Amino acid sequence: MLNLGMVLPISEKGGDHVGRVADVAEATAGCLWIVLDCRRGSCWAVGLLIAWALRTGPAPRRSAQPLGCVEDCHIQDPSGEIMPRGAVRSVWISVDDGIPQQVKDLAAEHKAIRARRSVAPQWRTRGLPRAQASEVRAAWLEEVQRQQKAGELLDTQDAIVEFGVREELRSRGWDHDWDEPPAMAWSPGRWIGSRDRGLDGFPERLSVRLDAALATRAVAACWWTSAPAIRELQAWRDRHPGITPPRYELDEEGRARLTGPLAEYVRLADKITTTGTIWRAGVTLGLAQARAVLEAEQAAKPTATPGN
């Protein structure tokens, strides 16, 4: 066995020599015993390397891994989905039976479209210098996000719903800046005036991540367009503490039977747009757009002629 001893002076605060001792230990993959002697006001590191004969080669250095992007960056999760830039908000949406599976299936179909588009000549990186290849990959990610926002590629559940929510806000004329909604607009639970859709309601739930700015705009739009009716309903409850309003949505016949305070309650509740209404409309519009893109892709495919 070959023993190697060395003495390295280091400062009282450590200094670069500590790193040098560690480097030697790492390079030899042996055992390092360090004794610090500070009796004279300076420290000395006495290193004794043992098990030299068992050395298997330099230990690999562990490169620092980024913990993630802070803002305005592409984030790719382990599933391979490209997430939107910037912050996102998780949203749970109550939907009809089978809707989550439809969203999942259409996103998978669009992933195949993305794969076909990614092999176009302008996105190929084979044989390119590293710097140029990085630029091409970054440009492809930008193009994917452009297509997602335009509804040309809806390859994730998030993209499907986000496109639909943008379209729903645009159709209502709500796609503009709003004042920040109050804290109560974000409170857990249902808004005043919310009603269930029959006894079964919405049996399934869909979880998506929406662009935070878009989600905030939707909440603000719902709140400020509903604020007058919300205030009136709050006053209604103060005036009628003993009356329980209808829990479920009523058809025309049911509405006709209501009189007095209950009729007033339903009239005010009709003026409130809950965020759930916007999210569900977004799901419907996103699914319709995803299907339209698939149909266009299939129509554009060349058809094989008999005998070829």
Q: How far is CA 203 from CA 117, 190, 251, 275, in A?
A: 37, 17, 20, 18
Q: In terms of domains, do 161 and 263 share one?
A: yes
Task: Give the residue from 162, 195, 107, 106 showing the smallest Cα distance to 281.
Answer: 162
Residue 173 lies in a domain: yes
pLDDT tens track for 120-174? 999 999 999 999 999 999 999 999 999 999 999 999 999 999 999 999 999 999 9
Q: Which two tokens stand for residue 280?
A: 């569900």
Q: Which two tokens stand for residue 125?
A: 């990186």
Q: In terms of domains, do 271 and 157 share one?
A: yes
Q: In terms of domains, do 38 and 85 share one?
A: no
Strands 43-50 and 204-211, bridge-based pairing: unpaired
Query: How many domains, in total, are found in the chain?
Result: 2
Residue 307 lies in a domain: no
Q: In terms of domains, do 82 and 14 share one?
A: no
Q: In terms of domains, do 158 and 20 share one?
A: no
Banded model confidence at residue 189, pLDDT cuts 50, 70, 90: confident
Residue 117 lies in a domain: yes
Instruction: For residues 171-186, give the mean pLDDT.
Output: 94
Q: In terms of domains, do 192 and 254 share one?
A: yes
Q: In terms of domains, do 23 and 163 share one?
A: no
Q: In terms of domains, do 88 and 220 share one?
A: yes
Residue 60 lies in a domain: no
Cβ neighbours for 185, distance < 8 A, ≥ 6 positions apart: 219, 220, 222, 223
Q: In terms of domains, do 141 and 245 share one?
A: yes
Q: In terms of domains, do 85 and 233 share one?
A: yes
Residue 59 lies in a domain: no
Q: In terms of domains, do 47 and 83 share one?
A: no
Range with the lowest mean pLDDT among 62-66, 92-96, 205-209, 214-218? 62-66
Residue 66 lies in a domain: no
The answer to whether the CB of 30 falls within 8 A of the CB of 50 is yes
Calpha distance 192→170 (Å, rounded): 25
pLDDT tens track for 196-221? 765 567 899 999 999 999 999 999 99
Residue 63 lies in a domain: no
Question: Which residue range is the domain that position 83 belongs to?
Answer: 75-300
Task: Give the residue from 90, 91, 285, 99 showing the smallest Cα distance to 202.
Answer: 99
- pLDDT at position 45 is 38
Residue 248 lies in a domain: yes
Q: In terms of domains, do 161 and 270 share one?
A: yes
